[in-house]
């Protein structure tokens, strides 16, 4: 008889919650639904995450860690390759049930989020902006720190916005590509 591998319940809850938020947002998080998705009792969800805000905060923190780990090696690539990889990250969400960046979904519901989650969300955004600044500095070595920061914020906001608008149009990646081409045409991603 083969022994079944033990499932890490906390990780399974986090995965189910992340999928829910990326598809339907913070307000769709239900401990009862998560328990059913994972195959556990609702009390088990509460054992790992006493409240919905605790779960949301853990999701944002983990997501920031995951995305930072994904982006870090890309920062060492040549400028165009790094920026294209960054754009591809945002585009990739449409291949999985018209999902969105977790940060974008939480941003859309910021007034429903507890302050601790909003703090984690701002740190997530700051991590993106810092990464983009590093990449932009390769090509724009004469830009001041303020100019790099302003442009990085614009790039991040533009890609989150392109993702949101594309989602609203049914999640067709071709529509996202059209928006990105317009950004490239005006030099935003250069």
Q: Which CATH architecture has domain 52-185?
A: Orthogonal Bundle (1.10)
pLDDT tens per residue across span 32-81? 999 999 999 999 999 999 999 999 999 999 999 999 999 999 999 999 99
User: For residue 105, what are the CA distances in angstroms to 30, 58, 72, 100, 110?
Assistant: 16, 15, 23, 6, 9
Taken in order 21, 66, 85, 96, the sign of the CA dihedral is: negative
Confidence bin at 7 (pLDDT 50/70/90): low
pLDDT tens per residue across span 155-188? 999 999 999 999 999 889 999 999 999 999 999 9
Confidence bin at 95 (pLDDT 50/70/90): confident
Task: Please state the domain extents for the chain.
Answer: 52-185
Q: Are the C-beta atoms of 84 and 139 separated by less than 8 Å? A: no
Is pLDDT above 80 for 149? yes
């Amino acid at each position: 008889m083969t022994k079944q591998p033990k499932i890490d319940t906390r990780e399974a809850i986090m995965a189910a919650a992340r999928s829910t938020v990326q598809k339907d947002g913070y307000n769709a998080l239900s401990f009862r639904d998560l328990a059913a998705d994972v195959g556990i009792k609702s009390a088990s969800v509460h054992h790992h995450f006493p409240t919905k805000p605790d779960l949301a905060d853990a999701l944002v923190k983990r997501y920031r860690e995951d995305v930072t780990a994904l982006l870090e090696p890309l920062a060492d690539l040549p400028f165009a390759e790094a920026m294209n990889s960054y754009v591809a990250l945002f585009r990739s969400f449409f291949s999985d049930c018209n999902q969105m960046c977790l940060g974008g979904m939480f941003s859309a519901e910021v007034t429903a989020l507890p302050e601790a989650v909003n703090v984690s969300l701002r740190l997530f955004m700051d991590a993106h902006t810092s990464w983009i600044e590093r990449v932009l500095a390769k090509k724009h070595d004469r830009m001041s720190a303020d100019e790099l920061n302003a442009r990085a914020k614009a790039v991040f906001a533009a890609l989150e916005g392109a993702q949101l608008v594309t989602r609203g149009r049914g999640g067709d990646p071709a529509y996202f590509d059209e928006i990105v081409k317009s950004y490239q045409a005006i030099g935003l991603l250069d």
